[in-house]
Amino acid sequence: MVSTVSSDTVCTDAVSTVSSYTICTDMVSTISSDAICTDMVSTISSDAICTHAVSTVSGYTVCTYMIRTAFSNYRGVQLVLYIYGWKGESTCSQQGEGKAKNHV
């Protein structure tokens, strides 16, 4: 779904489930009134997981999401967030296992 905040495009990601558990819910913020990330849905072993497109702002890679899966339990689905080149500020929030790294 795509919603708007102060006329800026804000992207929200689809919610995926594995074995009735919610495994990925992410919100994406905006930088300089530009749309940052859009989301895609992929499937692995017939289970829906979340993957994300990479978008750029001012020539920088802003948001890159990786999904790493382990099928022992639903918590094995990990979201790793990397942010490049935006003053070291976190511009995307994440929910679920994983960690954020800032590269400036």
Tokens at 30, concatenated? 């905006």
- CB–CB of 74/93 below 8 Å? no
Average confidence (pLDDT) per 10 residues, the chain, 104 residues? 36 34 38 39 43 39 35 31 34 38 36
Residue pointed to by tokens 């594995």: 18
pLDDT of residue 60: 39
Q: What is the pTM of this model?
A: 0.21
Q: What is the DSSP string of 47-72?
A: EEEEEE--EEETTEEEEEEEEE--TT
pLDDT of residue 42: 43
Neighbour count for residue 14 (Cβ, 10 Å): 13
pLDDT of residue 90: 39
- Each domain of the chain, given as residue ranges in start order, spans 2-103
